[in-house]
Each structure stands twice: as C-alpha cells, then as structure tokens.
Amino acid sequence: MAAAAYGFVSFSPAFGPIAGSIAPQMYVDSLPGAQIPVRGRFVDGVGTFTSTQVVAGKPSATRFIWSKITRTSAQWEQALSEDGGKTWTTNWIMEFRRR
C-alpha cells in the first residue's frame, strides 16, 4: 500500500516546559520501530512541528504544519529538508472536513 511508505502522525496534547509549546509528540513511521519525537507549537492558529532523523546516513528534517483550522475543517502538510531547514519540499497535504 503506497500510503504505508509515508507512515502516520499522532499528536496528543502534552504541553512542554516552554509556554505554549507541545512536546513531545511522536511521528510513527512505517519502518519497524521508527517512532520519531517532534516538537513545536501553535502560533496565531498555525501549528508547526519539526523532527530530525538520519535517512540513508544523512540528517533529514521533517516539518508538519496544521493550518486553516476552523470548527469544520483543517489542513495538514508535511515537508522535508536535507539542508538543515533552510529549504523545504512539501510532499504531502491533507485537508480534513467534518461532516
């Protein structure tokens, strides 16, 4: 299944020591045993969470953004960076709608 290659993200409301931050969260990859902590916070209605891991021997950063949040909808996107977060390539966007 193609979606399994991306894994999934689980966020829970665990507030960190920095006011307004949420940490730790876990990104659960489809790779065996891969549970990568992410850190971040919501500012002005946009939640930005990042993690760093090693992929094929190189450091790789992942960014997750929750935005366009309303009572009935939200947008989530994932982006990857191979230069320490200087540039990002968005590779996955999901839009959620409540019925």
The span from the CA of 7 to the CA of 52, in Å, is 16
Do the beta carbons of residue 61 and residue 86 sit within 8 Å? no
| CA 15 from centre of chain | 16
Please, which pLDDT band fits residue 54 given cuts at 50, 70 and 90?
confident
pLDDT at position 17 over 50: no
Number of residues in the chain: 99
- pTM for this predicted structure: 0.67
More confident residue, 68 or 7: 68
| CA 11 from centre of chain | 9
The span from the CA of 19 to the CA of 41, in Å, is 9
Which structural domain, as residue segments, surrounds residue 71? Answer: 2-97
Total domains in the chain come to 1
SS3 for 73? strand
Do the beta carbons of residue 49 and residue 37 sit within 8 Å? no
